[in-house]
Every structure is written in C-alpha cells, then in structure tokens.
Amino acid sequence: MKINQFGERALIQRISGLLSGGGNIVVGAGEDDCAVLDTGNEEYLLVTTDMLHRKTDFPLQMTGSQIGWMSVAVNLSDLASKGARPLGVVMAMGIPPDTEVEFIEEVVKGMDKCVSKYGTKIIGGDTDAHDELTLVGTALGMVKKERLIRRSGAMVGDLVCVTGHIGTAGTALMALDKKIPVSQEILKALFEPVPRIDEGMALAGSSSVTSMMDISDGLALSLHDMSRAGGVGFKIYESRLPVLSDVKRLLKGEELLEVAVFAGGDFELLFTVAPEKLDKARKACHLTVIGEVIENGVFIERAGGVEDLKARGYEHFG
C-alpha cells in the first residue's frame, strides 16, 4: 500500500503503534499536539515538532521574514494548545545551495522576531543542503502538572469555544489562488499567524477548560480529532462562527463555509468549557461559544437543518 492511500492521520497512527512507550512519557507520539514528559518536578516538559516546505507551505508572495515567522509560530501554537509557556525553539534548515545568503538572513530574523514576541529564544539547530527550502522546528515548553490540557477531557454538556476569528487564513489562500485583492489584515492571518500562547496559558490558569487543541488543520478536522480522543461528539452552529466582516463581504454560502470550517491555516484555539465556568474562561481571554459537546457524532446546524460535519481539512498525503 502506498503512503498516499493512507492520509496523514492514519499514517501517524500506524507509525505510533510501532514505538515503545512507558518510562517518563505521559503523552506519547501521535496522542496529542505535544509529547509530554514527566521530569520529576512540579512541571511537565512538552515537546513538539513541525516540518514546513517552500512549495507546499509558503505561498510565493511571502517574504523571507514571514517564512521564518511561520516556521516558529506553527510550533508555538502546539504549545499554546496545551497551556504551556515556551522554553526554547530548535530550528533545522534544509537550504538549496544556490539560495542567496541575504534571503536566509531574513528567514532567521523572522524566526527571531517570532520567538522574541512570545518570550523565548532560538536555542540551536542545524543546516544542510536540500533540493527545496525545508524548515523543521522543535519547540520545548513547560506547564504545571495540574494545568496540562489535553485533546481529551470534554464532557457532554460542555460548551465548544474558539479564540479569535476563523476562516481568515483560508480566505487569504483562496484570494491568492484566484488573484482577488483582499485587505492586509486577511493576508497577515496567513503570512504571519498568531500562536495563542498568552490565551493558552491564561485558559490553563483559569481551571475552566476541559479539552483543547489548535485548529491549524481546520475546524472540522480538529473537532473530529477531539471527538476521537475524548469519546464524545460535537454540535456547532454556523450562525455562531466568528468570521471577519471583510471575509463575509467577500465570500457567501458554501465558499464561506469552506474557509471557516474546512480550510487550514488559522492558529486559533478550539476548547471546551463547563457551562458553570464560562465566566472564568471569558476573563482569561476573548472567546466565542460556537456549540456544545454531545454524546457522539460531529454535526453543524445550518439554516436548512442539522448536517453531518465531514472530517475534512488540511492533511499531508491526502
């Protein structure tokens, strides 16, 4: 069987099944957004890694600085989803030999700008010759043991919430593909995504969140991931999805639903909150309630009724 017949999530599950666990591993490979290690003190050590490629992950319109920023932000977003504070980032760069040195300097400056924004540093890495610019980041973080938030943990009756706006990065990608002019705010969501580090730590500190992950692969796919991890279902409401007014003016109907629910690229947090603790969560960060946790299935309520929400989004090998 070929890799492209699997899909990314099935491949990860197959690979994870070949790895031994135990020891100080609290959360192992393929189980969540980050691996979690018990180092014997009051905090867990979190580790996450992401690989990005010039052709598939960085639109041609992106600057070197924006490429560097994104390569760090994608890793910090995983830490944010666990409520962790960043400890450091290691970056490996596969560089085509004919690349201009000045371009790589801009990429590195973008990396440094991102880590500095979120209170951490690039602490090491590697460089190698490669056919295509390839950036591999590994982020380390710490979280108090009682504050760790996982994909699992949601209870029936909990409220489903997201930070910020959704569908903005997907709109930017669609606009670039169709050569439609859009605002800088929309483009920036794709080119310089914001990892919700502060919001993640604040939510973890509020003790109001029962489960959480980021939606960089799309809202629908993330809901299915959390459903599978927690053994629960979700129902969300199209009318409650927080979408920028500029996006609503540009897109309507199925196109709007596509970018809001299925497109990847938004680094917002998806999380569940017990209804009686919603006020505590609201004090931690700005949020929008978009649905509720149910016993099973993943659904969306639209004007025409309730529909199954397909497990579709951004996946490698798909």
Say if CB 143 and CB 46 are below 8 A apart.
yes
Among residues of the chain, what percentage have pLDDT more than 70?
Answer: 98
Residues near 178 by Cβ (< 8 Å), separated by ≥ 6?
none
pLDDT at 31 over 50: yes
How many whole angstroms separate alpha carbon 58 and alpha carbon 246? 23
Burial classification of residue 278, based on how many CB atoms lie within 10 Å of its CB (0-12 exposed, 13-18 middle, 19 or more buried) = middle
pLDDT at 317 over 70: no
Say if CB 176 and CB 61 are below 8 A apart.
yes
How many whole angstroms separate alpha carbon 46 and alpha carbon 314? 24
Q: What is the CB neighbour count within 10 angstroms for residue 310?
A: 13
Adjacent-strand bridge partners of 94: 128, 134
> What is the tens place of the pLDDT at every residue in 133-174?
999 999 999 999 999 999 999 999 999 999 999 999 999 999
Adjacent-strand bridge partners of 134: 53, 94
Q: Structure pTM?
A: 0.93
pLDDT at 51: 96
> What is the tens place of the pLDDT at every residue in 289-302?
999 999 999 999 99
Residue 27's pLDDT band (cuts 50, 70, 90): confident
Residues near 276 by Cβ (< 8 Å), separated by ≥ 6?
none
Amino acid, single-letter form, for residue 154: A
Residues near 68 by Cβ (< 8 Å), separated by ≥ 6?
106, 107, 108, 109, 110, 111, 112, 113, 114, 135
Residue 129 CA to chain centroid, in angstroms? 29
Domains in the chain (CATH in brackets) are 32-146 (3.30.1330.10), 149-308 (3.90.650.10)
Cα 199 to Cα 75, 138, 212, 318, distances in angstroms? 15, 21, 12, 31
Q: Mean of the pLDDT values across residues 182-188?
A: 95
